[in-house]
């Protein structure tokens, strides 16, 4: 049997390659790192996490939690590795960044049906089944090939990474451990701010110097709303952060017995618990400005930054015009797309599209009918969103109940509705035997 080519070793590419190989079809997995690095990656590991180390909510009655449950039930490699390397994060699934990437890499390299080639792909193969999972940081030559293939310009948005600091450099005489509303085991470190401290910080933040964008990035700058640089959000109003990433709800400062005016949260980033990332602090500030401004936060006056925040351009295709819900290209059904380049936003959304692409690429190779997941499941709802011509003004989308078909009988109460969506999805999710 001819091998299926998978281009890209991120979350989606690793998941797609694994699902294909698990179904007995050989895979050639191309990854250009370390021979050629992207502006954001730091290692040659598969499924390296670039921004946060959190894969989002793992609560069963939340849309992201439902998506994780579905992928677990269907045998996702990424979810298995995430569960094996998880770190405390309250109701979220967060992982030790390095341990997670190492776990995925080990599984890929040890699979007998996956051949890894460490080289850049600059042309899309003209024959055979191909899964393009090169992500939002697709190299320029391949991006141009994709542009020619799809017959139109790419859409794009800007994404940003948050800084990471060492635990020992956080002043715990000012910060305190807690999770919102007591969920989890005091998994977050919280830096409380008074109103005076908060407004002084915001004023410094909005006036801080940012890194100029590259020439090709300034023609039509658009930021993705779910991952705004903190300085961009702060410029929307002096209280924007207090109602956004610095909202203090569900937290009580044990030293005062009161809720802070604002709070900066830090989440464990590695298995050893020595590194913490600044939640919601994606940024494009100059590194020297990050040193100056972020050390105005109580508890971070002497912070040691092991990684500064950075910003880069993320590219995605116009899925509703180009893709089928099987993740096939409408104009060439031997070509599949997977990952954030399709508009499935977030780590687990990318994994889901990689899963669907891998399953269907393997079925195409074996002469089996392809699988369209029911839109009443979260996997199906996401694939439907990024492939439905009815979607206008297309933007990347994370898992949420709003993209699922309405319930026949809409219960009252947000939580009750969520539980009804989850119950329906569990009932409609195909079994492993249905998709093998």
- Domains of the chain, by residue range, sit at 4-154+317-435, 161-313
Flag residues of the chain having pLDDT under 50. Answer: 214-219
Distance, in Å, from the CA atom of 209 to the CA atom of 213, rounded to the nearest integer, reads 12
Q: What is the CATH number of domain 161-313?
A: 2.40.30
* DSSP three-state, residue 217: helix
Among 268, 247, 245, CA closest to 187: 268
A 10 A CB-CB count for 21 gives 24
β-sheet with 275-278: strand ranges across: 176-178, 188-193, 262-268, 275-278, 164-166, 305-307
Residue 272: the pLDDT is: 85
User: Can you give the pLDDT at residue 274?
Assistant: 87
Ramachandran angles phi, psi of 29, nearest 5°: -105, 115
CATH number assigned to the domain covering 4-154+317-435 = 3.50.50.60
pLDDT at 393: 73
Is 0.85 surpassed by the pTM of this model? no
At 215 the pLDDT is: 39
Cα distances from 186 to residues 101, 181, 225, 363, 401, in angstroms, run: 26, 10, 29, 45, 29
- The pLDDT assigned to 349 comes to 96
Q: What is the structure's pLDDT at 213?
A: 61
The Cβ of residue 28 has, within 10 Å, a number of other Cβ atoms equal to 18
Rounded Cα–Cα distance for residues 407 and 214 (Å):
46
Pairwise CA distance, residues 190 & 116, whole Å: 42
- Nearest in space to 342 (alpha carbons), one of 84, 150, 76, 54: 150
CA dihedral 3, 7, 9, 13 (to 10 degrees): -70
Cβ contacts of residue 240 below 8 Å, gap of 6+? Answer: 233, 234
Give pLDDT, residue 216. Answer: 37
Contact 81, 96 (CB under 8 A): no
Q: What distance in Å separates the CA atoms of residue 177 and residue 365, rounded to the nearest whole number?
A: 52
pLDDT digits (tens, 9 = 90+) for 226-284: 668 999 999 999 999 999 999 999 999 999 999 999 999 999 998 888 889 999 999 99
């Amino acid at each position: 049997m001819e091998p299926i080519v998978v281009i890209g070793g991120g979350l989606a590419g690793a998941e797609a390659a694994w699902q294909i190989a698990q179904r007995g079809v050989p895979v050639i997995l191309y990854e250009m790192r370390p021979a050629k690095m992207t502006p954001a990656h730091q290692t040659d590991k598969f499924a390296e996490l670039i921004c946060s180390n959190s894969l989002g909510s793992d609560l069963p009655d939340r849309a992201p939690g439902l998506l994780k449950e579905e992928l677990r039930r269907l045998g996702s490699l990424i979810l298995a590795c995430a569960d094996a390397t998880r770190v405390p994060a309250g109701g979220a699934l967060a992982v030790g960044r390095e341990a997670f990437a190492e776990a995925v890499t080990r599984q890929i390299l040890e699979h007998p049906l996956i051949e890894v080639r460490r080289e850049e792909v600059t042309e899309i193969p003209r024959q055979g089944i191909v899964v393009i999972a090169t992500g939002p940081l697709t190299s320029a030559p391949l991006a141009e090939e994709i542009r020619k293939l799809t017959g139109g310009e790419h859409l794009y948005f800007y994404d940003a990474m948050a800084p990471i600091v060492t635990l020992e450099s956080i002043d715990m005489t000012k910060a305190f451990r807690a999770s919102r509303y007591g969920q989890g085991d005091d998994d977050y470190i919280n830096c409380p701010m008074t109103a005076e401290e908060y407004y002084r910080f915001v004023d410094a933040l909005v006036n801080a110097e940012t890194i100029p964008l590259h020439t090709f990035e300034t023609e039509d700058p658009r930021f993705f709303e779910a991952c705004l640089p903190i300085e961009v959000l702060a410029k929307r109003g002096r209280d924007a952060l207090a109602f956004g990433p610095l909202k203090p709800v569900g937290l009580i400062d044990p030293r005062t017995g009161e809720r802070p005016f604002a709070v900066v949260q830090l989440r464990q980033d590695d298995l050893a618990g020595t590194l913490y990332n600044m939640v919601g602090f994606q940024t494009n500030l100059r590194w020297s400005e990050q040193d100056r401004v972020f050390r105005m936060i109580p508890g971070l006056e002497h912070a040691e930054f092991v990684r500064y925040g950075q910003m880069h351009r993320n590219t995605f295709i116009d899925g509703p015009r180009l893709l089928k819900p099987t993740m096939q290209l409408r104009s060439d059904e031997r070509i599949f797309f997977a990952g954030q380049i399709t508009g499935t936003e977030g780590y687990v959304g990318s994994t889901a599209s990689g899963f669907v692409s891998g399953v269907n690429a393997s079925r195409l190779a074996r002469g089996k009918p392809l699988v369209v997941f029911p839109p009443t499941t979260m996997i199906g709802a996401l694939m439907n969103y990024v492939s439905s011509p009815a979607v206008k003004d297309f933007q990347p989308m994370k898992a949420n109940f709003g993209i699922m078909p309405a319930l026949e009988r809409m219960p009252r109460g947000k939580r009750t509705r969520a539980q009804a969506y989850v119950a329906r999805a569990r009932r409609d999710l195909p079994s492993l035997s249905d998709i093998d």
